[in-house]
Structure 1
Amino acid sequence: MADKDEAEGGAEASEEVVAKPKGKLKLILAVVLVLVVLGGGLGWFFFLRHHGEEQHAEAPPPKPSAFVEVPDMLVNLVGLPGERVQYLKLKIVLEVKEEKQVETIKPNLPRVTDIFQTYLRELRASDIGGSAGLFRLREELTKRVNAAVSPDKVAAVLFKEIVVQ
């Protein structure tokens, strides 16, 4: 019987040894999980939430753009011999970043008009058809005006009116 008690006592002891690590492992995992959740929440609160507010508070309000009127242009478009002559009428405004650039660009307006006229006279009506054609025209005119008024820079060429007749 003593052997039987020792055998049962040994079995119970081995079960306790096996049972204790499972309980400790669950406890450790629970503690680690709670720490990860708390750490993530605190990290978001301090770094992301306050960081976004600081960015918005520090950004200065954008300066309003200034505009330079270009004289109206009327040019004839290139066509095949014997075709009806088509005309392009444009009203253009140049957008610049600062008001002081307006005064430096105004003396160069005759040069800008000349560059625009020589380029526009090379176009066909099919070159400016659709929104893609107008986008290409705007990009090309912006590139040419920036070359004419260098070192100043024009932000965009804006169309007030476009008529093809």
Structure 2
Amino acid sequence: MTDATADAAGEDDPPPKKGSKLPLLIGLLLALLGGGGGFYAAFSGMLPFGSAAPSGGVGEHGAETAAGHGATEAHGGVQVDGQGGGHGEVGGAAEFIELPQLVASLGPVTALHHLRFTAQLEVAPVQRAEVEALMPRILDVLNTYLRALEPGDVEAQGALIRLRAQMLRRIQMVAGEDRVRDLLVTEFVLN
């Protein structure tokens, strides 16, 4: 009887079921498709933080892209078709105002670092006098921003791009967005 009870007890327990891997495979496939679609959207310019500007519109800094004007194709900041002009030619010719060299101390006194910064502002010719009149305010906002930086902020990968965007935004807030088109960094040295 002991054998019969052992067999009867074994028959009551169903064998363990092997789980289906179909939901796992479907989830993995959807994750890959979503990641690929997100990469394509960012790379093609459909999202604002992608690497390429959307074709046929206005680029990151207000400069019209080459696909927006079939006759004027920009190449490296110079017009290819030979009709004059240069970088960022939205409203005509551009003029550049050179900023004086700024030197800012970074970090604590024990590990003193200095940042040497030189740049130029790209403005429309009709706006030049107005921007030059605001130069003390522009220099003040740049000095204040640069002195608030830590050495790690400057040494990080891609720091110059981020810092340039921050400084341009501050300058545009002081001078007016329509007056300053771009900030061109000519010297950025940490020693």
When normalised by structure 1's length, the TM-score is: 0.58
Letter paired with 2:153: D
Q: What residue number does 2:115 align with?
A: 88
Structure 1 residue 144: Cα displacement: 0.3
Q: What residue number does 2:179 align with?
A: 153
Match of 1:87, SS? strand
Structure 1 residue 129: Cα displacement: 2.0
* Contact kept? 2:154, 2:160, Cα under 8 Å: yes
* Contact kept? 1:146, 1:154, Cα under 8 Å: yes
| The one of 113, 118, 127 aligned to 2:144 | 118
Structure 2, unpaired ranges of 5+ = 1-68, 74-82, 84-88
Superposition CA RMSD, Å? 2.5
| The one of 136, 149, 170 aligned to 1:144 | 170
Over 4 Å off, 4+ runs: 55-59
Structure 1 residue 64: Cα displacement: 3.0
Structure 1 residue 119: Cα displacement: 0.7
Distance 2:181 2:119 in 1: 13
Match of 1:155, SS? strand
Q: What residue number does 1:12 align with?
A: none
Are 1:67 and 2:96 matched, yes or no? yes
Q: What residue number does 1:129 align with?
A: 155
Cα 1:56/1:164, change in 2 over 3 Å = closer
Match of 1:100, SS? helix
Distance 1:138 1:151 in 2: 15
The CA deviation string for residues 26-53 of structure 1, in whole angstroms up to 9 with x for no partner, is: xxxxxxxxxxxxxxxxxxxxxxxxxxxx
> Which of these two proteins has the greater Rg computed from alpha carbons?
1
Structure 1 residue 87: Cα displacement: 0.4
* Contact kept? 1:105, 1:152, Cα under 8 Å: no
Structure 1, unpaired ranges of 5+ = 1-54
Q: What residue number does 1:109 align with?
A: 135
The CA deviation string for residues 52-83 of structure 1, in whole angstroms up to 9 with x for no partner, is: xxx74699x5433211111110110123x6x3
* Contact kept? 2:131, 2:179, Cα under 8 Å: no
* Count of residues paired in the alignment: 108
* Contact kept? 2:118, 2:186, Cα under 8 Å: yes
Are 1:76 and 2:142 matched, yes or no? no
The CA deviation string for residues 97-143 of structure 1, in whole angstroms up to 9 with x for no partner, is: x2111111001000000000011001012112255100011000000
* Contact kept? 2:95, 2:122, Cα under 8 Å: yes
Letter paired with 1:117: N
Match of 2:134, SS? helix
Q: RCO greater where, 1 or 2, for CA within 8 Å and sep 6 or more?
A: 1
* Contact kept? 1:76, 1:88, Cα under 8 Å: yes
